Amino acid sequence: MMTGRWLFLTVLCWLLTGMSTSAWAATNHSALLAAFCATDGNKATALEQFVEAGVSDETQDQAWARLIVDAIRNSALVCNSSGLVTIQGTPPLDAATLKTAANSNPGDSPYVPSIVMMRKLMVASAEIDLFSGQRDTRADAARQVDKSFALLDPAIITKAIKRERDPDIASVLTLAMAKRGLGSNNRADRLAAIKAVAEVPSETARTALANFVAQDSVRSDPEVLAAVQSAIAKIDTSLSFGRAFSILFSGLSYAGVLLLTALGLSIVFGLMGVINLAHGEFIMIGAYSTYLVERFMQAHMPGLFDAYIFVAIPVAFVISAVCGMLLEFFVIRFLYRRPLETLLATWAVSIALIKLVQVLFGSQNVEFVTPGFLNGGMQVSPGFFVTYNRVFAIVLALLIFLATFAVVRLTKLGLLMRATTQLRDMARCLGVAAERVDRLAFGLGAGLAGLAGVVLTQIASVNPSMGTGFVVDSFMVVVLGGAGSLLGTVVSSLALGEINQFIEPFYGAVAAKVAVLLLIVLIIQKRPQGLFALKTRV
């Protein structure tokens, strides 16, 4: 019985639309445009007309409607005072004929869609897409329509379902239609709708149901009420899981950043005992090297542009490593006996570097075009959305750490490094070329900082003074982890990252940071040598 009625309705709609469209081909486009531009006219209804054209069987109508709707979306459609309607561009087109417009008067500015209009436009173009030849286009359109089911035009969707060959797309559309049942007064429709909406739990689904349950008619109907409430409960549980995961995740990504920025320092400070206040500036140098690479590739090999981030990795490493070695050669090596002096010297270097970069690049943020594959993110589970740039940061941090660990623990350089840096004189006696090892070690530290810079270009703002923010954190991580213990660095950055992100939602970013700093200071009071330090003689 139910289905019977649906059938009847759909047939009716189809007939209507069918007639109108056939009537359509005859009437010319400019009338529509006029209707749209009419100051008193209702733009929404005008838009519906465009859509009708778009979904008609006349391909040139379709194409035209598609073009117009896009033009409106990109606020390129100009209603000239002369009555002429043009599409901005070079040359401007006459919207009706799509021929080059005679003259579009500059005084007239294009129509800028309001937010409400944008929503309508979004659905409209999706609806048009539902009739396109490409399966993928239709699939996307279907998803879009489903997302904003409240706004869709049932007649058109039914038509789409009828002619849809692909079962998946069809089912998506049917689901969307079902969701509209929330609006109906029929209990069965409502129950079906609730089921449909709750099928894929998400914030939007929750909103829909929550708004739905707010209606009196719903409250008065115990059965529906029960259904919707259990649905909401179900959604809430999965959402809260998602929320927990997201906190863990952001903790992880924060830890990744900490690890990256601290790694270089755990060598320079941890192993060599140099208080390098210019550490942050090496990070900055790394970031700016990335910037140069980006600019270069944009100019010379736009095809491979997205790969710039990977190209930047070796480049940034080398550049900052070289800077590091220069610093070591000209300043640090005279100060190994006087750690506190290295503090002052490196501070001086840092302000000079900052100013230098300011002079070269200006003090504003340099903006990066994010590689396509780092844009956006994905819904892992309801309420748990990971963004690709963070995943990238975490993964890279991990890889870089493993590499460093390998270098320090497994290679000869690593051995020499530990030897010289820990027992300077002894190593000298043993004829280790201490100077060279020191230089390499410092270079390695600086290079790692540079790598941190590369990653940060994707998740933090890049400007000459960006480094200063990271120095304190990095030192804290290293000190907490225990000087000279790479594992300690990892553990402490993990701990700090998670703690920080756990506090932040409740008390805000600053409070979290402060709390963590104080916590560290307290721990240091108890364990001056950090968490991972052996008890040794003297």
Partner 1 sequence: MTTLPETAARRNWTLSAFLSKWMEIGIVPVLILVAAYLPFAYFAIPEASALHMSLFGINLIGQIMCFALLALALDLVWGYAGILSLGHGIFFGIGGYLMAIYLLNSAYAETNVLPDFIQYMGTGGFPTVWKIFSRLDVTVLITIVFTALVAGVFGFVTFRSRINGVYLSIITQALTYALMLLLFINDVGLGGNNGMTGFTNIAGLRIAGVSTQIGLAVCSCVVLVVAYVGVRYLAHSSLGRALIAVRDDEARMRFLGYRTHTLKLIAWCLSAVIAALAGMLYVPQVGIVNPTIVSPQLSVEIAVWVAIGGRGTLIGAIAGAILVNGLKFWLSSQLPEVWPFILAGVTLVIVVAFGNGVWGTLKAAGEEANR
Partner 2 sequence: MKRRTFLSAVGSGLVTAAGTALPKPALAAGSTEPIKLGLLFSQSGTMANNESLLKDTALMTIDQVNAKGGVLGRQVQGVVVDPASDWPMYAQLSKQLIQRDKCAALFGCWTSVSRKSVLPVVEANDSLLFYPLHFEGEEQSKNVVYLNSPPSSSVLPAIDYLMGDQGGNAKRFYMIGSDYVWPRTINKMLKGYFKTKNIPDSALRERYVPFGQSNFQTIVREIKDFAAQPGGQAIVVMTVVGDSIPAMFKEAVNQGIRATDIPILGLDVVDSDLEGLDTKPLVGHLSCWCYFQNVDTPQNTQFKSDWKNYVTAHGLKHRPDMVIDPMVSTNLGINLWAQAVTKAKSTGTDAVRKALAGQSMVDPAGYTVKMDPSSQYLWRGDMIGSINAKQGFDILWKSKDIVKPVPYSPFIGKA
Partner 3 sequence: MTASASNTAIYVSGLNVRFAGFAAITNLSMELRYGEIRAIIGPNGAGKTTLMDVITGKTRPASGEVFLDRVTNLATLDETSIARLGIGRKFQKPSVFEALLVRENLELAIRNGHGYADMLRSRLKTEYDQRIDEVLETIGLSSEGRRLAGTLSHGQKQWLEIGMLLVADPHVILLDEPVAGMTDHETARTVELIARLKSPARAVVVIEHDMDFVGEIADLVSVLHEGQLLGEGSMEKVRSDPRVIQVYLGR
85 forms bridges with which residues in the sheet?
A: 79
Residue 54 near residue 62, CB atoms below 8 Å: yes
Which one of 36, 50, 64, 254 is in contact with partner 2 (CB under 8 A)?
Answer: 254
Which residue in 41, 83, 89, 377 binds partner 2 (CB under 8 A)? 377
Q: Shortest Cβ distance from residue 416 to partner 3 (Å)?
A: 23
User: Is residue 341 within the footprint of partner 1 (CB under 8 A)?
Assistant: yes
* Residue 515 C-beta: closest distance to partner 1, Å: 9
Residues 188-247 that bind partner 2 (CB under 8 A): 203-204, 206-207, 210-211, 213-214, 243, 246
Strand partners, 94: 86
Which region, judged by CB under 8 A, interacts with partner 2, from 338-346, 380-388, 433-441, 443-451?
Answer: 380-388
Nearest C-alpha neighbor of 493 from the set 261, 279, 230: 261
Tokens of 451: 């790598």
Sign, CA dihedral 365-366-367-371, equals: negative
Distance of CA 528 to the CA centre of its chain: 40
Among 362, 423, 429, 507, binds partner 2 (CB under 8 A): 362
Residue 81 vs 525, nearer CB to partner 1:
525
* Identity of the residue numbered 166: D
Cα–Cα distance, 246 to 252 (Å, whole number): 9
Q: Does 42 bind partner 2 (CB under 8 A)?
A: no
Q: Give the span between the Cα atoms of 489 and 480, in whole angstroms.
A: 8
Under 8 Å between Cβ of 96 and 28? yes
CA distances (Å), origin 312, targets 118, 131, 290, 447, 462: 39, 44, 5, 12, 15
- Residue 388 interacting with partner 2 (CB under 8 A): yes
Contacts 24+ apart (CB under 8 A), 374-382: 374/309, 374/458, 379/202, 380/242, 380/245, 381/238, 381/241, 381/242, 381/245, 382/200, 382/201, 382/202, 382/235, 382/238, 382/239, 382/241, 382/242
Phi, psi of 135 (to 5 degrees): -60, -45
Select from partner 1, partner 3, partner 2, none the partner in contact with residue 534, using the beta carbon and a kind-dependent cut-off of 5 to 8 Å: partner 3
Residue 178 interface partner, choices partner 2, partner 3, partner 1, none, CB cut-off 5-8 Å depending on type: none
Q: Scanning residues 352 to 381, which ones bind partner 1 (CB under 8 A)?
A: 352, 354-356, 359
**Residue 326 sits in the site that holds partner 1 (CB under 8 A):** no
Q: Which does 343 bind (CB under 5 to 8 A by kind): partner 2, partner 1, partner 3, none?
A: partner 1
| Spatial contact of 459 and 469, defined as CB atoms under 8 Å apart | no
Least Cβ distance, residue 22 to partner 2 (angstroms): 33
Residues near partner 2 (CB under 8 A): 74-75, 106-107, 109-110, 112-116, 118-119, 122, 148, 203-204, 206-207, 210-211, 213-214, 243, 246, 250, 253-254, 358, 362-370, 375-377, 385, 387-390, 459-461, 463, 465, 469, 501, 504-505, 508-510
The site for partner 1 (CB under 8 A) is made up of 273, 275, 277, 331, 334-335, 338-341, 343-345, 347-349, 351-352, 354-356, 359, 468, 472, 475-476, 479, 508, 510-511, 513-514, 517-518, 520-521, 524-526, 528
